[in-house]
Amino acid sequence: MPVSRPESSDSRIIAHVDMDCFYVQVEQRKNPDLRGKPTAVVQYNSWKGGGLIAVGYEARKDGVKRSMRGDEAKEVCPEIHLVQVPVARGKADLTIYRDAGSEVVSILARKGRCERASIDEVYLDLTDAAETMLKETPLESLESIDDEVLKSHILGLSSDGKDDRESVREWLQRKDADHRDKLLACGAIIVAELRLQVLRETEFTCSAGVAHNKMLAKLASGMNKPAQQTIVTSASVKELLETLPVKKMKQLGGKLGSSLQTDLGVNTVGDLLQFSEEKLQDFYGVNTGTWLWNTARGINGDEVQGRLLPKSHGSGKTFPGVRALKTVVAVEKWLKELCEELNERLQSDLVKNKRIAHTLTLYVNAYKSTDTESHKKFPSKSCPLRYGAGKIMEDAVNLFQAALREYLGPYIGNQCGGWGVTNLSVSASKIVAIPSGTSSITKYFHSRDQLNDSSEPLGEKFVLEDDHVSPSRTESHPASHQIECGEEEIPITHDISSSDQCETACKDEASGDIAEEAFKLSSGTESCSTLKQKEQQSRLHGKETKMMHPNDGIRSYNQKRKATKEKGTSSILRFLHSNSTSSPKQDNPTPLQETKSLSLGTQEPLNIESQSSSQNVQTTNAWSYKVDEIDQSVIEELPLEIQQEFRNWLRPQKRPNIVKRGSSIAHYFSPTKN
């Protein structure tokens, strides 16, 4: 459900940039012969010509539509060129489009905060850039304005349609213009420039919307395509929304939009104006009600998230109809393909962006033929993610088997009751950047555990080499984990420091030792998954029963504990170490956005992120201690091997973690002992 966020009082300049029929453009760049010809991109050519997932504008003129079949498209437009999505491992592989999207993002991120909204869409917060421009170069004094700017569509400008370059110029340079309009004008100039850069550097065209918030910018970017831009002035909003069908509004394209029509007889966004906020809240809940009320007025406080990289990676495939997978063996075969693709993408993310994913999730759609009634859904399952195709595969298979048992009910394996899997997908989430800076190591041994079976302490060299790197612009992220060991489990909240994505994203350079090492380690497919390994990762991530590996359920709780203890010292030390955070100031540098919102002088309370972030600072501090404050004698009581490892870690770190009570070491350092 949509949620309403408070809108900052100051006016922002937000742009939404949308690539025109992106996949088609990617294919046309690859094969220029296709340029200017009716073209569509299709996947799985075998059945009815495959399904269209992108249609070029020449083909659209002939009535070709997305989600037509290739055959239908041919009927409507016999000359159409159908290009197939690349296939790898028996499934569609969108890599080339993702990479092309990254090219675009790296250009668009040059001005202002940038949010990758999808593979081919981006939001930009150009407020600062626009304000700066307005200060430095008064619009009236502008000698020449790029044609791309003059081609803008300005909502509300009367003569939008005819020889309007002059009127656009006039609007842009209007001396008596509203300050907000002037900022919009600057935004339009900036966006036009960015779009031209995109075109020069990638050969891709895109369209854009410029407005005072995300919702309106998004709406505008789609109004004049392809290769054009649209500006939403405040004055135009009312009229714009008045007649806009609710379904056109983002978030209202589904059930909520339908029920608006059905329940309230609301057909256009303007129709919503009649309803009080309370009334809308009564119908749809507080959050959605408020959101609807605001939306009707063109109010939307959603901020542009500074995020250039995806938050998850997934690989999936459908098996419709008779192609449904009916045996575990068939499922395993496909899981292997999916996991290999996922692993490749994780690898690439690690090398390019120095990020590590921490959770593996399996999603399945299935049917039960012997299922007269209960349309039970196949449950999705997660577990800690270990790097390496073999390990991911193994874990995914285990997740599948666990979920299958649940799905089929307690009467498990009796007679292969007809089930069929119609969709399989694996996905990796909880991706965090490996901190660049002193604290790399903390993050790092997380990866070490997942990448590597040996207990060779790889961390050391990173400490040494990273130490002189300034930990600039780090941001604190809260996280909490639990681990079992000893009699009970104690959840600990702690900080993860990670490098700012805005800095590292899209840099293809120097992978660095961490990434290289990781690559070596995970390229191997050795997947001797011993009990101990499972325990180890269970502990690392570990959420008792929920986050453990499916297999673990078979063993008793005591057995698990035992395995955990035996596994070893180095892991325990890691946890210990990880709890040794350095000073709060260093660990929790003020997030950039917080700084910004404060400097804007907002009278409103700190935004939610800021609040929770400062809360986490407190929580973290309560549970943290400094390594160098630990009594030396305490360390000396530890086994020699542990002492050594411990001393290796003697540097201020912060990292995600778990503390175990009952473990001898945890006893020593348990902050408050509860």
The closest alpha carbon to 538, from 524, 552, 527, belongs to: 552
Instruction: Give the pairing of strands 229-232 and 153-155.
Output: parallel
Q: Determine if residue 273 is left, alpha or beta; phi over 0 gives left, psi from -120 to 50 gives alpha, anything else beta.
A: alpha
Neighbours of 379 (CB within 10 A): 14
**Which residues are tagged catalytic?**
121
Residue 172 burial (10 A CB sphere; 0-12, 13-18, 19+): buried
**DSSP assignments along 339-399, one per residue:** HHHHHHHHHHHHHHH-EEEEEEEEEEEEEETT-SS--PPPPPEEEE--SSHHHHHHHHHHH
**Nearer of residues 97 and 275 to DNA, judged by Cβ:** 97
Rounded to the nearest 5 percent, the helix, strand and coil shares of the chain are 45, 15, 35
- Say which amino acid occupies 247: K
Beta carbon of residue 576, minimum distance to DNA (angstroms, whole number): 20
The closest alpha carbon to 446, from 475, 483, 500, belongs to: 483
Q: How far is CA 668 from CA 556, 647, 671, in A?
A: 28, 16, 9
H or E segment and range at residue 123: strand 121-125
- The answer for residues whose C-beta is within 8 angstroms of residue 570's C-beta and 6 or more apart is 455, 457, 645
**Peptide bond before 6: cis, by omega within 30 degrees of 0?**
no
Beta carbon of residue 279, minimum distance to DNA (angstroms, whole number): 18
Beta carbon of residue 392, minimum distance to DNA (angstroms, whole number): 14
Task: Report DSSP state, residue 606.
Answer: P
- The three-state secondary structure class of 488 is coil
Neighbours of 374 (CB within 10 A): 8
Residue with tokens 């348990």: 670
Neighbours of 636 (CB within 10 A): 9
Q: How far is CA 159 from CA 171, 209, 347, 376, in A?
A: 11, 19, 53, 57
- The answer for residues whose C-beta is within 8 angstroms of residue 552's C-beta and 6 or more apart is 534, 535, 538, 560
Q: What is the distance between the alpha carbons of residues 445 and 455, in angstroms, rounded to a whole number?
A: 11
Which residues form the interface with DNA (CB under 7 A)? 1-3, 43-44, 47-48, 51, 53, 66-67, 91-94, 98, 118-121, 249-257, 285, 287-288, 305, 310-318, 320-324, 341, 359, 361, 367, 377, 379-382, 420, 422-423, 425, 427, 429, 479-481, 541, 543, 546-547
Neighbours of 586 (CB within 10 A): 16
Q: What is the distance between the alpha carbons of residues 630 and 665, in angstroms, rounded to a whole number?
A: 12
SS (H, E, C) 242-296: HCCEHHHCCCCCCHHHHHHHHHHCCCEHHHHHHCCHHHHHHHHCHHHHHHHHHHH
Beta carbon of residue 12, minimum distance to DNA (angstroms, whole number): 17
608-623 and 592-599 are packed helices; what angle lies between their axes, rounded to 10 degrees? 130
Neighbours of 637 (CB within 10 A): 12
Q: What is the distance between the alpha carbons of residues 156 and 469, in angstroms, rounded to a whole number?
A: 52
Q: What is the distance between the alpha carbons of residues 315 and 321, in angstroms, rounded to a whole number?
A: 20
